[in-house]
């Protein structure tokens, strides 16, 4: 799970991007669409060392969606976008993205 460790060193970050954001993107890439509460629960069940409350994960999902890295597919369930995948692969500089309100 979360096999994109090598890409971590090639990723182009931005000031607004957090470690939680990367874990969320990695999770959704590997596990598919989930709402924030399920993301948190499944990460804990998988033994991933996270300290994020579901409310924080929800806030971060909404922020990632504003930058086009995630999309809300309905009922608070998020999916990673092509931009999100490009970032994880080291092919997108998220510092160049415009935030949509």
- Using CA atoms, how far apart are residues 37 and 26, in angstroms rounded to an integer? 16
Instruction: For residue range 22-64, list pLDDT tens digits in order.
Output: 999 999 999 999 999 999 998 888 777 667 889 999 999 999 9
Does 19-92 carry CATH code 1.10.10.10? Answer: yes
Q: Are 54 and 60 spatial neighbours (Cβ–Cβ below 8 Å)? A: no
* Residue closest to 68 by CA, chosen among 96, 89, 40: 96
Per-residue confidence at 7, pLDDT binned at 50, 70, 90? very low
Q: Are 65 and 78 spatial neighbours (Cβ–Cβ below 8 Å)? A: yes
pLDDT value at position 47? 76
φ, ψ (nearest 5 deg) of residue 81 = -100, 175
């Amino acid at each position: 799970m979360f096999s994109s460790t090598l890409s971590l060193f090639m990723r182009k970050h931005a000031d607004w991007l957090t470690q939680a954001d990367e874990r969320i993107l990695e999770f959704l890439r590997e596990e598919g669409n989930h709402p924030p509460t399920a993301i948190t629960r499944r990460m804990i069940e998988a033994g991933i060392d996270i300290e994020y409350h579901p409310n924080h994960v929800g806030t971060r999902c909404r922020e990632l969606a504003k930058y086009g890295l995630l999309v809300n597919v309905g009922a608070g369930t998020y999916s990673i976008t092509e931009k999100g995948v490009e970032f994880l692969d080291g092919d997108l500089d998220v510092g160049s993205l415009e935030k949509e309100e």
